[in-house]
Amino acid sequence: MGRGRLEAFSDGVIAIIVTIMVLELKVPREATPSVLLTMAPLFLSYVLSFVVVAIMWVNHHHLLHCLDRVDGALLWCNNWLLFCMSLIPFSTALLGSFPRSPTAVGIYAGNLGLTACAFVILRGAVARRDAARLELHLQQRRKNLMSMGLYLSAIPLAYVSVWLSFGIFVLIPLLYFMPERALETVP
């Protein structure tokens, strides 16, 4: 199977994930400042998750460009990542509806931690098929593992202070906001 089909399928799934997230933003009955202010947590959770999903999509795109061919094991690693990502609309809606709930914040952190873990697994599968860029994959894997650890640490931190977890949620996208220069040169 060619890389193009894998990318097209993944792009379609990610587009559906973003669509489901935006459909959670319901138009209020009134357009008053007070009503719109009550919607701020939903909107901010959507913005945060959109940025996270967009960064994952960009990094996924760059990662797959390292491949010449795709096999069954790689397809399943990719499917695991897409499954974890497909839960993001639920955890985003939960976070937006209950932003002060340690449980809701912990579920969001757990979902993103699981998704980061899936990305680490996919990166490992790609690295085994791309020995020429092994050092690059190992470097990026460290960053992926750090993100996974931070997301998972946000679960217990939510029970200390949800604001600490929110700080982690904002920090990680800042670390990834721009694609890595080294990955941009991959053919």
How far is 86 from 57, CA to CA, in rounded Å?
Answer: 13
Residue 67 pLDDT: 82
Directed axis angle between helix 134-158 and helix 102-128, to 10°?
Answer: 170
d(CA 124, CA 141): 8
The pLDDT score that the predictor gives to residue 180 is 53
**What's residue 18's pLDDT?**
94
Please give the average pLDDT of every successive group of 10 residues along the chain, which has 187 residues: 82 94 89 89 95 93 84 93 97 96 98 97 89 81 93 98 97 78 46
